[in-house]
Structure 1
């Protein structure tokens, strides 16, 4: 009996040995080292500025903080930590999937990446449940929206997130490729972990499936409640609290669909394929490309989360609108100052008024003399 027929006895070791011979896994680095840095630079600028603005709005009003603001503040902290790690990832992609900065920094950026992912999912779920309680069950479960209880819930969420991510520190994150490139936090580097397909399928259901079902259930119950109230009281549709609840959950669902769904669906389908048969190098290369795209989409969450704050935090909404009005007025002023002939429309209009008044006075004096 040959070694090839004995290999299925250890599924994980088989795939790790098989993939060592795959030399095409990073053949797309030509376009990836241009496109990915561009996208991540945009995510870094928009995400960091939007979340710093949210922190600027939330921090001075910490004494007036409520449950929604606390969950949003924790989401802000998670996004800012992730944004601070993005420059190193941008450098990694710009160098064509090469990480010369060592295993320690690779693990640090990986830890921030996964903390942001799990914290984002969990705190968005908390926001949806909070809006559900505020509208559907405001009396029965109001204790869960009290500030001291919400803070305890946030501590518990961070404990769960750390429990999910800290084991990553024991796994190898970098791998030296035959061509001399050192990859960091790439999927093939994890295939040495025993039972990887089962671990990742479980992570998809726990980290994505259950939160998604919870969010959709909250949204369905909330819409049903508002529809029922609208039949008995027409003023319900104009209620600010109802609009705020719908806005928050709609934004959360949007972020889930755009950011988290492609990555988790992609991961799930490939892990199922690994359990059914042996994907070849071509399939693994296609999966690598799809992972780089879907991970890129998932990281957009840090720049889309400020849209959630727009509906969740009243102060954030006012601050953004105020900045937009100021920007519009400054733009209008610059247009006025740079009008033709170096004069403003108001100046031209005033000159016309003065000229017409002088003409009127001359005509009046000539009539008097006659």
Structure 2
């Protein structure tokens, strides 16, 4: 019976602990569902996230005038984060295609786990920084010009990378484990550490999600209040039209960021916390398995933020859209030109 039970000691006082025994099926009895969902999601996410974020970086580099914009600096860091995360997805796909057998070195397993959390929380903080910059640009343009310089934005982004990178170091401890005689990855190596994982979860929820989320809500509310107060001052002058368009883009940006939080990040953090409580609290096995399925689905939503962010660049930045249209037009013209040259060659061959 011991090979079918997982013992989980939970500390409930200064010197008191109880040992919970959970059936092995509560953790691994539904692996087929998990592998199918992850495989389907990453097959969709990988090509789109990789191509869109690499393309976004190329467009940002081509925007010589916009490259010195604080928002552009933040978006470039966000694209680097999403593009780097997408490079780990092929390893995950091979693992799930192999039904949970890890054939790569241990350090690659640790790097994949670490990369997911670094991408998750750098994305959250970069989106928060974008919302703050937009609030300053709309509500306090003079302070925005003096405070939000490209150099300062770059230093803040480097600070985000450093903070998240150091804070995520504990996830490097989760490497290859041996289960059923096979090397596994993305599974807890020590089931006696669930209590510590629960504490780390709440630190991540508080610092990496709740604080940024409430900051974004505050920025959104202030922007809406400012635009509502200024709505009666509209005129038909060119400068007023430009300001109106800028305000519209500001609302679209913050609305899209808020929607990203609600769709990609909120469900994952809520369900992950419930699942950890279920494991540490020794809840019924059926509840644990149901929450595990929910964690799988919400984790896929969290991973899909690397696909959603390029949409944010496109719809919130006019020059980004213009560059994308120029690239599309040049691609079409090159195809038409090659097609016409092919027709000319065929006609010459037919006449000869």
Partner Cα distance (2:307, 2:77) in 1: 15
Task: Name the residue aligned to 2:75.
Answer: 72
Q: Comparing both structures, which one devotes a greater share of its residues to strand?
A: 2
Task: Tell me: CA distance 1:8–1:43, structure 2 relative to 1, closer, same or farther (3 Å).
Answer: closer
Cα deviations across residues 138-186 of structure 1 (Å, max 9, x unaligned)? 11343331111111111111111112112322x2333322x33433223
Instruction: Tell me the SS of whatever aligns to 1:18.
Output: strand
Moved more, 240-249 or 179-188: 179-188
Cα distance 1:309–1:25, how it changes in 2: closer, same or farther (>3 A)?
same
Query: Quick one: which of 37, 60, 63 aligns to 2:62?
Result: 60
Instruction: Kindly indicate whether residue 202 of structure 2 is the aligned counterpart of residue 201 of structure 1.
Output: yes
Question: How large is the Cα RMSD of the aligned pairs?
Answer: 3.0
Which of 35, 41, 60 is 1:39 aligned to?
41
- Distance in 1, matches of 2:324 and 2:202, equals 40
Answer yes or no: is 1:265 the counterpart of 2:266: no
- Tell me if 1:86 matches 2:53: no
1:84-138 Cα deviation digits (max 9, x unpaired)? 1110011112222322324211101111111100110000000000000000111
The answer to whether residue 109 in structure 2 is matched with residue 121 in structure 1 is no
Distance 1:332 1:266, change over 3 A: farther
Alpha-carbon distance change, 161 to 149 in structure 1, aligned in 2, over 3 angstroms: same
- Superposition deviation, residue 45 in structure 1: 0.8
Structure 1 outlier segments of 4+, above 6 Å = 10-13, 326-333
- Name the CA distance, whole Å, in 2 between partners of 1:193 and 1:35: 24
CA distance in 1, matches of 2:246, 2:142: 15
Three-state SS of the structure 1 residue aligned to 2:50 is helix
Q: Does 1:112 align with 2:115?
A: yes
CA contact 1:68–1:313 (8 Å) conserved in 2: no
TM-score, L = length of structure 2 = 0.82
* CA–CA distance in structure 1, aligned partners of residues 241 and 221 of structure 2: 16
Equivalents in 1 of 2:190, 2:183: separation in Å?
A: 11
Number of residue equivalences: 325
Aligned mates of 1:66, 1:141 — CA distance in 2? 11
Query: Aligned pair in 2 of structure 1 residues 24, 328: CA closer, same or farther (>3 Å)?
Result: farther
TM-aligned CA deviation for residue 272 of structure 1? 4.3
TM-score (norm 1): 0.78
Provide structure 2 residue ranges, at least 5 long, that are not aligned to the other structure: 1-8, 338-352
